A = this chain, B = another copy of it.
């Protein structure tokens, strides 16, 4: 059984020293002082550590079972699920009007990281419910909000998102599920959906399916998609549960990981659905809730990397094997493997990724908050530019980080009993769902870069340039931090120029570099966050002359990141600039 320790020190540093969330002045959130947020995070950490983490491996082994049309979750899941709900953790960043706690996303996502570290499969039931809450909150009618939101906030009812069909994943224009309007204004939903996470289970009284479907006669392609609420049990006017709707589970998929979460084939056989927003506006409704969802998936990448890193670090301190070559003395003596440089290198790679990515994701969360509560369009725009990077880059690297953790344990890493395999298998899905990482890259290059006339891209570059200008006055950061950050920014700008010049002539020239560009911006963004963390640590050390190992370590970690990871922007720039010629010219038969 693995152990999980909430990384509270790092949260404190990021939230209060780096992002200074207490000064954000978000409307409706008056109190984000350290004492208050620390207390919340500590309590959430206890739930994660004591209630969720102990069930994680069990959920992997037992998985979900379909018995007589009903999905059974692993033993213990229901009790833990209820404990989270009763603690009010499910509505932490939901509106108070519907029973939420009214806290900002930055706090909700921090808690989400812990819950995901502890038990990703179980936390997904909560996460998807939050997604359904958001869809109805932003696009539902007043009466829909009143009918569904309070129970979604408490997770008395849970939610799902039904997009994928056998012939249609990324390309939602190919959806075949049909929605026919009935005389009472509701719709008759017919079709099959696949890969539906938390599609059915025994954790909640009702399940609110959000389903994308096409109304006969609507425009072809994505412009003819509508979104519907299809409850498992229809809800009576007084809020009580009515008849079972005509939706059923076809089967549970056998997956590589997240076994504790039921991934279902869902059959809609003339089920009753209720339109959200307007006809044919389904895709738009999807898109506006996507930022928060994708940010959440990015956090999953961090959460899994964090818990895997903790096991690897503990193992490295305990496992005695081989001599520390710098230590004098008995030739035959062996030392803990954390003393061996290649193991250190591996642990450092994990550490600087996790802390940098966490800072980036939580910074984006504060910008979403500012956008939502303060109607700060610039912040919202910058967040929406960076969110495909947070989702795509961080889940790519987060998965890689779990692989690196697994490697520290050698042969034991490959044995299921040690739990490392599960982190690898669970985290793998984050690169695929909520839009594959290739799609994130296309979203970034094909859509976000030029959105609103490229305004947010310019804002991003300016933000980094302003920081460099301010920070480079500090001589002790210049060589190690600000100068290389400048060079990395230059790599990004060269790619942007290439996209502008070449992409217009032939879009494939740009799109062939999409994934590499996403990674370039990922490294640049992590570099920016590490530069800010280095500056913060440096200032704290200046203020407080006595030796403080936390800040010393942050500074050393920043330098490590800049020496060993940031130079990847140069490689990625070269790849982007190499264009698409060879790859597109090779005959299909040679693949």
Q: Which residues of A contact B (CB under 8 A)?
A: 164, 167-171, 173-174, 194-195, 220-221, 253-257, 313, 316-317, 320-322, 325-326, 331-332, 334, 338, 340-348, 351, 399, 403, 406-407, 410-411, 413-417, 421, 424-425, 428-429, 431-433, 436-438, 441-442, 506-508, 511-512, 514-515, 549-550, 553, 556-557, 559-560, 563-564, 567-568, 570-571, 574-575, 578, 580, 582-591
The answer to whether B421 touches A347, judged by C-beta atoms less than 8 angstroms apart, is no
Q: A254-B415, A414-B255 are in contact. Are A584 and B407 (CB under 8 A)?
A: no
Query: Given A334-B173, A344-B583, A586-B556: A415 and B508 within 8 A (CB)?
Result: no
Measured between beta carbons, the chain B residues less than 8 angstroms from A591 are 313, 316-317, 338, 347, 351
Report whether A170 and B512 are in contact in the complex, using a CB–CB cutoff of 8 Å.
no
Once the chains bind, are B583 and A345 in contact (CB under 8 Å)?
yes
Which B-chain residue is minimally distant from A431 (CB atoms)?
B407
Query: Is B253 touching A343 in the complex (CB atoms < 8 A)?
Result: no
Neighbouring B residues of A410 by C-beta, 8 Å: 169-170, 432, 436
Whether A341 touches B580, Cβ cut-off 8 Å, given contacts A169-B410, A574-B563, is: yes
> Is the pair B433, A584 in contact by a Cβ cutoff of 8 Å?
no
Cβ distance A385 to chain B, nearest Cβ, rounded Å: 19
- Cβ of A165 to closest chain B Cβ, rounded Å: 11
Contact residues in B for A334 (Cβ distance below 8 Å): 171, 173-174
Instruction: Choose one: B164, B322, B556, B588; the contact of A170 (CB below 8 Å).
Output: B322
A164 to B321, CA, bound (A): 12
* Cα A511 to Cα B337 with chains together (Å): 13
Which B residues are in CB contact (< 8 Å) with A587? 549, 553
- If the complex has contacts A345-B512, A574-B563, are A586 and B432 also in contact, measured as CB distance less than 8 A? no
Contacting pair B254 A338 (CB below 8 A): no
CA distance A443 to B150 in the complex (A): 61
Q: A253-B415, A341-B583, A411-B432 are in contact. Are A549 and B332 (CB under 8 A)?
A: no
Cross-chain contact of A549 among B436, B442, B589 (Cβ < 8 A): B589
State how many angstroms separate the Cβ of A241 from the closest Cβ of chain B: 31
Asked if A326 and B170 sit within 8 Å, CB to CB, the answer is no
Give every chain B residue within 8 A of A514 (Cβ-Cβ): 341-342
A411 to B196, CA, bound (A): 11
Could you pull out 28 A-B pairs where Cβ atoms are within 8 angstroms? A173-B332, A173-B334, A221-B331, A253-B417, A254-B415, A255-B414, A255-B415, A256-B425, A325-B507, A341-B514, A341-B584, A342-B438, A342-B511, A342-B514, A342-B515, A344-B512, A345-B515, A351-B590, A407-B432, A407-B436, A411-B432, A414-B429, A549-B587, A549-B590, A553-B590, A557-B582, A568-B571, A570-B570
Known: A257-B414, A325-B508. 11 other contacts (CB 8 A): A164-B411, A171-B321, A171-B322, A254-B416, A344-B512, A344-B584, A345-B583, A410-B436, A564-B578, A567-B570, A567-B575
